[in-house]
Amino acid sequence: MMCELFAMSANQPTDVEKYLSLLMPRGGKTGPHADGWGIAYYEGRASRVFKDAAPAAESRYLAMLARAGLKSTSVVAHIRKANPSVIGRATANTHPFEREWNGYSWVFAHNGKLPGIESLKPQRYSRFQPLGGTDSEQAFCRIMNVLSRNIMWGESTTSERIIEVVRPVVKQLSKLGEFNFILSNGEYTLVHAHTNLHALEHSAGTSHNAICVLATAPLTDEAWQALAPGSIHVYKAGRTVGMLDA
């Protein structure tokens, strides 16, 4: 078993307490993901990232956040199972990772394992470097380096443009192992369902409130849909705005 991912995209600020309360026990109680947790709430272009290298199921800090009523249009969360275990519990190894680029805070969370990533050819332009020892953060930095190299500073990006730019590096890294991930800048949420990721799209209250929730495994009895293995999806304001089949 590896890590578990969670994300939410909505067109109105939304509370995710319901889903966080169901995700928490998987972090060391009902699931083995006991090596840390993290959650990013967006406020416009800026993210508020909270993380801890302790088990989510035992965290009073996370329980407090879940009950705090924080609302956002974009949320990314992660509960971690260190794999290999030698890359142990540390803040630097806890997802989601965050970097600033093009005036946005970008966050990234990964489920899987990418053996051999450290042996890949160094990128020609490497503005972004990892702080910890995980293959996940190395993958994030590679994606961010590709984005910053191919999209001009200040350029207005579309979902199609983001997919076009990141697709080659996603394809390269997917050959190494398992590469399910969520990448967000608060406006767009891009997910790669390499092997296992589920989505739940619904309205809250009225048809004008669009919400999409994503998780490694369904968190409720609602009608979650398994995303096609190898597919890339982009969400904005609770709706699918871009997709690339495997």
Helix ranges restricted to H, the chain: 17-23, 60-67, 135-150, 159-174
Counting DSSP H helices and E strands in the chain, the numbers are 4, 13
Is 141 annotated as catalytic? no
Q: Which long-range contacts (CB under 8 A, 24 or more apart) does 48-56 make?
A: 49/96, 49/98, 49/107, 51/91, 51/94, 51/95, 51/96, 52/91, 52/94, 53/89, 53/90, 53/91, 53/93, 53/94, 54/89, 55/27, 55/28, 55/29, 56/23, 56/24, 56/26, 56/27, 56/28
Q: How many residues does the chain have?
A: 246
Q: How far lies 69's CA from each of 16, 72, 181, in Å? A: 8, 10, 26
d(CA 186, CA 19): 19
Q: Are 36 and 25 in contact (CB under 8 A)?
A: no
- Please tell me which residue in 1, 2, 3, 173 is annotated as part of the active site: 3
Catalytically active residues are 3
